[in-house]
Amino acid sequence: GAVVSQHPSRVICKSGTSVKIECRSLDFQATTMFWYRQFPKQSLMLMATSNEGSKATYEQGVEKDKFLINHASLTLSTLTVTSAHPEDSSFYICSANSPLQGDSSYNEQFFGPGTRLTVL
Amino acid sequence: QKEVEQDPGPLSVPEGAIVSLNCTYSNSAFQYFMWYRQYSRKGPELLMYTYSSGNKEDGRFTAQVDKSSKYISLFIRDSQPSDSATYLCAMRFGAAGNKLTFGGGTRVLVKP
């Protein structure tokens, strides 16, 4: 259980175009999802917290008009990188909250497999 | 100074050896401490979590938390080549819904 998928797994686009990344919780409902980005050999940096039915909460330094997040249902959150530029090239990972199997008192973040974005 | 510090490695060990990983942190309000394993170009997967100070064992993995020293550890016994990955420590303030703060990750290589 607690499987999170992302689509696409890889995307290459031209500078100035917009790219949408989907994050789905496959076998559970997630009121809260998180979006991270990870540069090579670096750790995950939280970009924003996505709550179903409300506006996302962005971390300091993350441009909300550039990284549009929509959490329209309990199983789907989308991240749209608008007017992408080469510096936006990164590995984008989402996660979704779910109770841990065998320990319902603890909510764990289950991570998707990531989306590698390359902007030319 | 980063909130969570972790030696980036790489840490190279022979198969069967014990792998010792650790993180230090600065915010004493962290209550939950996690270890994730991340293979190349994949999302992290949870290995273990520990609440407050103490030890926790799961198979070949042992996690230790020393809140007084703001220091956490992960030990992997009888290491296997399949354990080669990047190990990330993470911590959070509460049990549900709070964001994670990650360490930089330690790359581990277990040689056959």
Chain A residues within an 8 Å CB radius of B32: 106
Tell whether A54 is within 8 A of chain B (Cβ). Answer: no
pLDDT of A102: 67
Question: Mean pLDDT, chain B, as a whole number?
Answer: 92
Question: Environment class of residue B35 by beta-carbon count within 10 Å: exposed (0-12), middle (13-18) or buried (19+)?
Answer: buried
**Measured between CA atoms, how close is A113 to chain B, in angstroms?**
4
In the numeric block, which tokens belong to residue A92? 């984008």
State both tokens at B5.
């510090």
Chain B contact present for A106, CB below 8 A: yes
Q: CB of A83 within 8 A of CB of A16?
A: yes
Give the one of A42, A105, A111 whose C-beta lies nearest to B45's C-beta. Answer: A111
Nearest to B105 by CA among B18, B40, B30: B40
Cα distance between residue A41 and residue A50, in whole Å: 26
Cis peptide before B81 (omega within 30 of 0): no
- pLDDT at A76 exceeding the cut of 90: yes
* pLDDT at residue number B21: 97
CB atoms A112 and B43 under 8 Å: yes
Check residue B33 and give its pLDDT: 94
pLDDT tens-place string over residues B4-52? 999 988 999 999 999 999 999 999 999 999 999 999 888 999 999 898 8
By the CB < 8 Å criterion, does A82 face chain B?
A: no
A93–B100 CB contact, under 8 Å: no
The dihedrals phi and psi of B39, each to the nearest 5 degrees, come to: -85, 160
Q: What is the distance between the alpha carbons of residues A111 and A95, in angstroms, rounded to a whole number?
A: 4
Q: Kindly state whether A116 is in contact with chain B, defined as any CB-CB distance less than 8 angstroms.
A: yes
Tokens 């170009």 sit at which residue? Answer: B41
